[in-house]
Amino acid sequence: MNIPLNEEKTLVITPLQIQRTVFALLSVVMAAVVCKRSLPQGKAAIARLDGELQRLTFRPAAVTLYVGETFDSLPECSPPSSRLDKDAYTWELLDDGVLTVENGHIVAAKNGTTTLTASARHLTASVGVTVQYRELPPDSTLPRLYYEKLPIANYQNTLEADDVPADLMAIPAEYVAENYGTLYISAETFEAYQALLRAMQSEVSGCRMHIISAYRSYARQSQLYDNAVQRYINAGNSSTQARLLALNTTQTPGNSEHQLGCSIDVSNDNTTDHNYQNTPEGQWLAENAHKFGFVLRYPADKEEITRIAYEPWHIRYVGVFHATYMYVNHVCLEEYVALQQEAEAAAYAYTSDQ
């Protein structure tokens, strides 16, 4: 397609570019002089000049790349007949790390906006390049860390009997409430818990905080559920009624979050009921747990969503980013996982539009 010259978007001219343009004009003049000398007819000389490269322009003048993508556009040459191939260009990257060169390709390296310049035959063209992470499409307020799927166990999501955390470790006895035996936990969760506990101990005077439950195997959950059912049967309920009643307090095997190894029930050694929220420890936990990557997994006003009665003592490790998002936006894990799925769908819709 022939584009009239007056519609071309020209480059921002820098002194260097003026210098280069002057060189380019000089070389055109020289070429004309040479042509005139070697060609007998003036008209033939002008026809020859039309094929000379006169201008380089990037269209569009700005592009957006995701981290890891390769920049592979070439400037448009004017007139079109003067088109150059890729090897004819010299590229200039700013020293800001937004773009990098890998195996002879220009690759988007990190978030930011930069300028890339291509030069050929004393002409230059620049293009603005914005690099962003794939999980951060513009105009979205949703968190984009859907790459990091959060495991969830609830009435809808059932774990297998052999789902066991890979980094399970025994919790040192001093962290566990008396007479609760040896408890196990995911090492990553325990490290975060230690940081949380240190902070709580420094801010809550006379702080008492002990773990009363952490990892629970599928078999152990089976036992707890069966025991709960039995208690209701002993109280005079039919076995069907007893099973339903047991569900109010105890999850069926595979549906307890404790099997994930990143949930902890805590106690201040006096209170393991709803009054825990009114203790200094319970209050501190509600306000600060997210700073250490934990959320109160079963909030009072989310019972209809979690289908678990309010548990101010049950914390779940999800990492600081997710925990902070959930705390600030007041969403429980079920809502958050749904948001992650929405974000993922939106991001894929966005990338497939490009």
Which residue ranges make up the site for Zn ion (CB under 5 A)?
Answer: 265, 314
Tell me how many degrees the CA angle 14-109-344 measures, rounded to the nearest 5.
125
Answer for the pair 263, 314: CB distance below 8 angstroms, yes or no.
yes
Which among 262, 291, 284, 261 is positioned nearest to 208, based on CA atoms? 284
Which is it for strands 263-267 and 184-186: parallel, antiparallel or unpaired?
unpaired
Query: Most distant CA pair in the chain: distance in Å?
Result: 117
- 290 versus 314: smaller Cβ distance to Zn ion: 314
Measured from the CB of residue 263, what is the shortest distance to Zn ion in angstroms? 6
60: preceding bond cis by omega (within 30 degrees): yes
Sequence-separated contacts (24+) of 42-50 with Cβ below 8 Å: 50/79, 50/81
- 78 versus 213: smaller Cβ distance to Zn ion: 213
CA distance 90 to 72: 13
Measured from the CB of residue 60, what is the shortest distance to Zn ion in angstroms? 55
Cα 291 → chain centroid: 18
- 265 versus 281: smaller Cβ distance to Zn ion: 265
Residue 336 three-state SS: helix
Q: Is 162 exposed, middle or buried (0-12, 13-18, 19+ CB in 10 A)?
A: exposed
Answer for the pair 297, 257: CB distance below 8 angstroms, yes or no.
yes
Measured from the CB of residue 214, what is the shortest distance to Zn ion in angstroms? 9
Q: Which residue is nearest to Zn ion (CB)?
A: 314
Measured from the CB of residue 164, what is the shortest distance to Zn ion in angstroms? 18
- 163 versus 344: smaller Cβ distance to Zn ion: 163
- 125 versus 153: smaller Cβ distance to Zn ion: 153
CA distance 298 to 280: 19
- 124 versus 213: smaller Cβ distance to Zn ion: 213
- 121 versus 314: smaller Cβ distance to Zn ion: 314
Measured from the CB of residue 191, what is the shortest distance to Zn ion in angstroms? 20
- 99 versus 176: smaller Cβ distance to Zn ion: 176
Measured from the CB of residue 271, what is the shortest distance to Zn ion in angstroms? 15
Q: Which two tokens stand for residue 162?
A: 């052999």
- Phi/psi class of residue 293: alpha, beta or left (left: φ > 0; alpha: ψ in -120 to 50)? left
CB count, 10 Å around CB of 165? 18
Measured from the CB of residue 260, what is the shortest distance to Zn ion in angstroms? 11
Q: Which two tokens stand for residue 46?
A: 């002008």
Measured from the CB of residue 224, what is the shortest distance to Zn ion in angstroms? 11
